[in-house]
Each structure stands twice: as C-alpha cells, then as structure tokens.
Amino acid sequence: MNRTPDLIKRKANIEKINSAIKNGALTGSEISEKTDLSVGVISWYSSEGWIELPYKRGLTQFHRGKIGENKTLVDCLLFDEGESLEAVGKIIGLRRQRIGQYVEDPERHKRWEEAIKRKRTIKSSLENAIIKFAIKKGYDEGVGEAVEYYFDKKRSKRTRRPLKNLIELVKVYKQAEKDEIKLTHKDLGELSGIKNVSIVGYILKEMGLKSFYWNTKKKITSEDKKEAIMRAANLNYLNCWDLGHFLDITPEVISRMYRNAGIKKPFTYGVKRFGKGSWLSYRDASQIYGFKDEFNASNEEISRAIGKDLKFVEYALKNRPFIGMKLIRALQVLYPNEKI
C-alpha cells in the first residue's frame, strides 16, 4: 500500500499546527480553529511526538477566548504596562487562568515580571512625589505635622488615625498654644475626634509637639529626686504618672530610671478604676483634697476644675481616711526630711 499521500498530509498538518502555535495559539481548541483540524487529531499528533504543544492541558478544555487575534494588545498590556492577569482578562474578555496560560512560557513570564517591577518603581516614585507635595502643602497651611504623621508607613494600625482628625488635632493644638490655653490630652482628643486619650499623647510626641502639662525638655534630675524615685520603687500603688506629679518630673524619666536599674514596677490604675479608660489616680485625689481644704470648694466646682466626673470627687472624699493615709505614706517616703 502506498502511504506517501498520508505522509504528505501529515507533514502539511504538522506545518499548519506549528504555524498556528507561532501565531499565538496555545490550547488544542485554539489550534483547531486556526487549522480546521480536530482536537482529537492534534492530541494524537502530540502523543506520537510529532508536535510539541505549549499547553497539553488545553486539549481537554473548552474554548475560553482568542489570544491570537488580540496578541498585540495582550503583549502590550502584559510586557509594556505590567498589568495583572485579571486586568488583561477583563479587557479582552478572557478568564484570568487563560491569560496565565499565555505567560507560563519562561521567556514571556520573565518579560512580564520585569514589566511589573518597572510599573511598581514608577508607581512608588509617583506616590513619593505626591506625598512630598502633600507634606509641603500641609506645612504651608500650618498642618504639616499631621500630614507627615499620616503618610509615615512605619505607623502601626493601632496608632493610625484618619487624616482629618490628625489635621484637626494640630489646628486645635496650635490655636490653644497661640491663645496660651492649656488643654489636656482628653480635651485635645474630644475637640479633634480622637477618643483614645493615650493615643493623643503618643501622636503629639511623634509629631514633635510638646504637651501643655509635661515639660519634655531633657533636664538634669537632682540627686535628691533620683534617690526619692528609688525609695518609691516599693510603693506599688503609685504609678510613674503619680510619682511624676509629686516629684515634678516627667513620668518618662521615672520609667527610664527604673528600667535602667532593672526594676519592674507593676502597672496600677491608682485609687480605683471606674471602667475602660476611666480611673481615679492618687494625683487626682491629692488635687481634690487640695481644692477642698484650701478653697472649701463644692464637689461640682472641684469636678470642673480638675476635669473629672463628679463620681470621682465623691468617691475620693468619701474614702479620704484610707486614700489620705496612703498619700501621707507616699509623701513621707518621697520627702523623709519634711514634716507631713
């Protein structure tokens, strides 16, 4: 039997298939459309080793779209623009997986990765330029500290706040500074929409804005005060903020001294905790007793003066014998040479 016609036909079919692959056909269905050969014939040629298909799995998949007729556009999107597989798929009407098949080729995949890196570099440069412009404009308008804090990528989620609240915080702070009005962290938080009081102090510190009540300038602590701080290490009911109030030292200095000395001072809320973020400290109690003794102020007047709820004042006065005894003991430790 003369099989020459079959060999000639096979050779022609193989040439057709290879030509279709060069033109961008990847799956059996795509090759079938370009060559008018059935998927079964193409699969048989591949299994016999006469042709090498880019993606054999495509032989058993249904036709998902055509890359061949959109090859120029696809190459531009992938290798010039560095677009994602999803984005390219949406533009030409194909699934992400189908575009993924196209870039599985090592050479194409390398070109695509290089395009993505270029795009990220350009995007990063553009973002940095925009951020620098925004910060400069912020300082021109007097709120640069807020804008710079907001765009600092090192910030954790816990300390991040909306830009509008940060801007309002800076505006309120600078207006109060201009008017020579001392505002507590609580006041600043309420006026700027930042509810967490402790975060307000942290934000101000990171912005380089000094607290109205704590002098954050580094100053030499006298030896007497250093000794008093060490003596108070065993007064576990006083925290660093209370000690700072009685010694006129920032709590950060006290905390650092204990840390350097290897002393772990347990955290305490003070006299009594009334709920989350709400407690009566010993410095509050000391102020309450001072207003009552020196000015004979009413409970309501004391409440307004120290910025605490009336229940704090009432509790402190009701339990004065017990709280006062602890305050006297603390002052005796801090100032042993004074008559208290």
For 133-189, what is each residue's pLDDT tens digit?
888 888 888 888 988 888 887 777 667 788 899 999 999 999 988 888 888 888 888
Report pLDDT for 340: 65
Q: What tokens appear for 49 in the block?
A: 């080793």
For 210-254, what is each residue's pLDDT tens digit?
877 654 444 546 888 889 999 999 888 988 889 988 888 888 889
Report pLDDT for 25: 77
Identify whether the C-beta of residue 272 lies closer than 8 Å to the C-beta of residue 235: no
Q: What tokens appear for 214 in the block?
A: 């704590």
Q: Is the pLDDT of residue 14 over 60?
A: yes
**What percentage of the chain has pLDDT greater than the value 70?**
90
Find the distance separating the first CA and the last CA of the chain, reported in whole Å: 125
Q: What tokens appear for 290 in the block?
A: 């001072």
Distance, in Å, from the CA atom of 75 to the CA atom of 91, rounded to the nearest integer, reads: 13
Report pLDDT for 58: 39
Report pLDDT for 214: 54
Report pLDDT for 57: 43
Residue 108 per-residue DSSP state: H
Distance, in Å, from the CA atom of 144 to the CA atom of 115, rounded to the nearest integer, reads: 35
Distance, in Å, from the CA atom of 31 to the CA atom of 250, rounded to the nearest integer, reads: 78
Report pLDDT for 66: 66
Report pLDDT for 31: 84
Residue of higher predicted confidence among 338 and 234: 234
Report pLDDT for 168: 92
Q: What distance separates the 2 farthest-apart alpha carbons in the chain?
A: 128
Identify whether the C-beta of residue 270 lies closer than 8 Å to the C-beta of residue 279: yes
- Please name which of 185, 191, 187, 182 lies closest in space to residue 164, comparing C-alpha atoms: 191
Residue of higher predicted confidence among 262 and 58: 262
Report pLDDT for 26: 72
Report pLDDT for 338: 80
Report pLDDT for 55: 56
Q: What is the DSSP string of 237-283?
A: TS-HHHHHHHHT--HHHHHHHHHHTT--PPP---SEEEETTEEE-HH
138 burial (CB, 10 Å; 0-12 / 13-18 / 19+) is buried
For 280-337, what is each residue's pLDDT tens digit?
999 999 989 988 888 888 999 888 888 888 999 999 999 999 999 999 999 899 988 8
Q: Is the pLDDT of residue 5 over 60?
A: no
Identify whether the C-beta of residue 337 lies closer than 8 Å to the C-beta of residue 248: no
For 86-97, what is each residue's pLDDT tens digit?
888 888 778 888
Type of residue at 4:
T
